[in-house]
Amino acid sequence: MRSLDMTHGPIASVLVADELASPQGDNLDVVVRLRDGRRFGLTLFTLEHLRRQLGTALCYVTPRMLLVKDFSDEAILDAVRAALSQDFERLGVLQPLINQ
């Protein structure tokens, strides 16, 4: 796991779980720590993930999907900033406090 530090308002840091990435390399989990102490888990997906999930299906429905061009630090941070502007409570999964 690696950490990306941010100076963006309420975001304190972003933890990237590279070691938990899918074998296909098309989805990635991150944990966003806010300055108020809350932590949210987000899963980022690439277009390739969407293509693979569709396969021969006519549609694919999933809640809380964050699509990124790639898993560069720039794209990850952009997705986190976008999720913040869209309301983390809707897009991420609230993580328990570390001391719980």
Say if 76 falls within a structural domain: yes
Say if 24 falls within a structural domain: yes
Q: What is the pLDDT of residues 20-43, one digit of tens each?
A: 666 667 888 888 888 888 888 888
- Domain containing 43 equals 2-95
Q: How many domains does the chain have?
A: 1
H or E element in which residue 47 lies: helix 47-54
Say if 100 falls within a structural domain: no
Say if 77 falls within a structural domain: yes
pLDDT reported for residue 89: 66
pLDDT reported for residue 21: 60
Neighbours of 50 (CB within 10 A): 15
Q: What is the pLDDT of residues 44-88, one digit of tens each?
A: 989 888 888 888 888 888 777 788 999 899 999 998 888 888 776
pLDDT reported for residue 92: 61
Q: Which residues of 19-36 are buried (b: 16+ CB within 10 A; e: fewer)?
A: eeeeeeebbbbbbbbeee
pLDDT reported for residue 100: 46
Say if 39 falls within a structural domain: yes
Say if 63 falls within a structural domain: yes
- CA dihedral 9→10→12→14, nearest 10 degrees, is -100
Nearest to 67 by CA among 40, 83, 44: 44
